[in-house]
Amino acid sequence: MPAPRLNRVVANFKAAATRDKSVQLKELRGQNLVLYFYPKDSTPGCTTEGQDFRDLHSKFRRQKTVVLGVSRDSLASHEKFRDKQNFPFDLISDPDETLCRKFDVIQEKTLYGRKFMGVERSTFLIDAGGKLRQEWRKVKVKGHAAEVLEAVKTLK
C-alpha cells in the first residue's frame, strides 16, 4: 500500500489507543488530525515532543484538531507514559508496524555505528475532510509542535 500523498484523502485505518480506545480515521472526519510518530516512550526527545504537544493542546483543540501520538510501544507502556506526562491526548500502539508502514516512517537508522530499522520521527496533518495537507519527516523536536500548530491555523 503506497504512503498517503499530499492533498489526497488518507485511507481509513483502525488502531488501538490508550484509555481502551479504538481510533478510526473515518470517525475523526469533521476535525483536523495531527498524527505524530515517535521512536520510543519515555526517551528524552520523545518526552519533550509529547510535552510540547501537551502544552499546546488547548490551542489545537480551539482549532478543532485532534492530536494522536504513535509508536511501536505497547499499550501498557503508553498508559504509563501518558499518565506520567499528563498528556491530554491518546497514544496509538503499533507493535506490528501497520500504521508506521502505511505512513512509511520505518527507516534505516544508525546508533553508535549500528544500523537498524526504526521509526523516523514524522508528523502528518490531515484536514477535516480526511486529506493529507502537510507532512514533516526527520523532525527536530525543538519548535516542532508550534510549527504544526501554525500549519493547522492555515487550514480552512
Q: Could you list the active site residues?
A: 46
Helix (H, G, I), strand (E, B) or coil at 104: coil
User: 123: Cβ–Cβ under 8 A, 6 or more apart, which residues?
Assistant: 34, 35, 36, 37, 135, 136, 139, 144, 148
d(CA 127, CA 83): 28
Contact yes or no for 93/78 (Cβ under 8 A) = yes
